[in-house]
Structure 1
Amino acid sequence: MNDTSDNAKDDDKYRAPALSKGLDILELLAGEARGKTQVEVAKTLGRTTSEIFRMLMVLRQRGYVELSDDGDRYALTTKMFEIAHRHPPIRRLTSIAGDEMQRLADDINQSVHLGIMHSGKVLVIAQVDCPDNNVTSVRLGAQIPLFDTASGRVLTAWMEDRLRAQLLDAVDGSAERRKDFIEGIPEVLEKGYCENASLTIEGVVNISCPIRDFSGKVVAALTIPFVKRLSGTSIRSVDESREALLSVCRSISRQLGASVHVD
């Protein structure tokens, strides 16, 4: 018996073309900040405009996509993000981390965001602003290229070598960024956190620390895009902010059941 032909038969047996088309559209639009026209979606996916139109109408009726004000471009709504937050592990993580993040932001007068790995990018699932009038923060729901982030290094540093290699092979990015990212991982493992100059905003220092679950696995990264303040009622140094961040990450990890894996 030919295993290959048997697998092909099984694949044909369980095909759901309409579902596949819908998922193709969602995955395509997930990477398009401005959205795409019906013609662009059809051309990119190699489909006819008529079959894409039917799928877009269903997705729009269900609230997954919306039309731009000019009625020309389709873009994702926040519905998928909202559904993801109903997933028990994420809901528990954000519930536990929320109060801790707010206390940290108030204490050090810096914004804080919580990220997880999602489809080879860092997805921001929680974000808290500091009390100061001037704020540098990352948008809730943002998907940030892996090689551009301190949190990306934290999320990949403690992966098994094989899984990390597979992930890095699948992620797009310049050779220089990839090399710098990989070479920085040993330092993250040695220190237990990542601290480096922002690759997207000059003058910002990103400080990112791991959060572990009951098994000791790193499931999220809590990050401060540190801005040096010249005035205000609460001015903390990078060192003070880092120590406060490490303490909060240990606290969140313990509440997730990682007591034996954290100091």
Structure 2
Amino acid sequence: MPEKVKDRNENGDADANLKYSAPALSKGLDILELLAEQSQGLKKAEIAQALNRSISEIYRMLAVLQSRGYVMLDTASERYSLTMRMFELSHRFPPTKRLTAVAGEIMEETAIRLNQSVHLAILNGSEILVIAQVDPPGNNITSVRLGARVPMVFTSSGACLSYQMTREKRAQMCSKNPNFTQEALDVFEDTVRQAAETGVCQSPSAIIQGVHNVSVPIIGFGGEVAASLTVPFVRRLIKSSDPDIDECKKVLIDAGNEISKKIGAGAAG
């Protein structure tokens, strides 16, 4: 249960000394700021209690915020949470807390189901940045370190993160890497085409022999790519019932779609 927000004046303003007052705007911002601190979301009554507002006031504000795509309602739990709309409006380094909170449980389930490591990445200049990583419980895994930065041209994650760009833009970004070659770009562009045409891509690891990276894009509120979900797929030589790489693609697509839905993909429509 969130703590009640205190020290607000009769119009709901956090600062009672403001020269100008916009009560409706203040209420909307109060809701956004409150939900920004709640990784699991809050029910309508919990929001009203925390903000010292009536449920009818909060309902009207939530209806507007939901219609504008800033919040979304999980009908199963009746909890409201932020979409990635605020993330997409900002042109700064992306706030990753909400994204990783949403993706965490889905990534854990995916890692266990596939018996493969899974990581989540965003674009950081001409590199990918790994912001979440989960390993399966078994042995003999290949994983990418949390916080790792890798040139986008060498990754399937980079292909998923950049397939909405023009080829010229990708080439310009990739050229910033000192190890960039035209051959590397040609391989990368083939992976980009897979992502654009099928929603999933596969490419041999440029770093570890025998590993095939499988990635899917995570789509945000306005249809833009917000992140990529990747499995560095390893085929174990011992006899096992692990899913093959084709099954891995199917499972990863489902996981990517679920994360995209939870961060508000399609809400703009």
TM-score of the two chains, using structure 1 as the length reference:
0.61
The answer to whether the 8 A contact 1:111-1:130 is kept is yes
Q: Distance in 1 between matches of 2:188 and 2:260?
A: 25
Aligned to 1:101: 107
Aligned to 2:122: 116
Q: 1:166 to 1:197 in 2, by over 3 A?
A: closer
**Bigger proportion of residues as helix:** 1
The answer to whether the 8 A contact 2:171-2:185 is kept is no
The answer to whether the 8 A contact 2:117-2:143 is kept is yes
The answer to whether the 8 A contact 1:146-1:171 is kept is no
State the Cα distance separating 1:186 from its structure 2 match: 2.3
CA-to-partner distance for each residue in 1:5-41, whole Å, 9 max, x for gaps? Answer: xxxxxxxxxxxxxxxxxxxxxxxxxxxxxxxxxxxxx
**Per the alignment, in what secondary structure is the counterpart of residue 215 of structure 2?**
strand
2:208 pairs with 1:222? no
Aligned to 1:151: 157
2:216 pairs with 1:193? no
The answer to whether the 8 A contact 1:109-1:234 is kept is no
Q: 1:131 to 1:185 in 2, by over 3 A?
A: same
**Per the alignment, in what secondary structure is the counterpart of residue 210 of structure 1?**
strand
Q: 1:199 to 1:190 in 2, by over 3 A?
A: same
State the Cα distance separating 1:180 from its structure 2 match: 2.3
Q: Distance in 2 between matches of 1:189 and 1:201?
A: 25
TM-score of the two chains, using structure 2 as the length reference:
0.60
CA-to-partner distance for each residue in 1:137-171, whole Å, 9 max, x for gaps? Answer: 00111101111111111111122566445434544
Aligned to 1:71: none
The answer to whether the 8 A contact 2:121-2:228 is kept is yes
Superposed CA RMSD in Å reads 2.3
**Which runs of no fewer than 5 residues in structure 2 stay unpaired?**
1-92
**Per the alignment, in what secondary structure is the counterpart of residue 220 of structure 1?**
strand
Partner of residue 180 from structure 1, selected from 178, 187, 191: 187
Greater length-normalized contact order (CA 8 Å, ≥ 6 residues apart):
2
Q: 1:214 to 1:249 in 2, by over 3 A?
A: same
Letter in 2 for 1:215: G
**Which runs of no fewer than 5 residues in structure 1 stay unpaired?**
1-86
State the Cα distance separating 1:174 from its structure 2 match: 2.0
State the Cα distance separating 1:202 from its structure 2 match: 1.1
Aligned length: 176
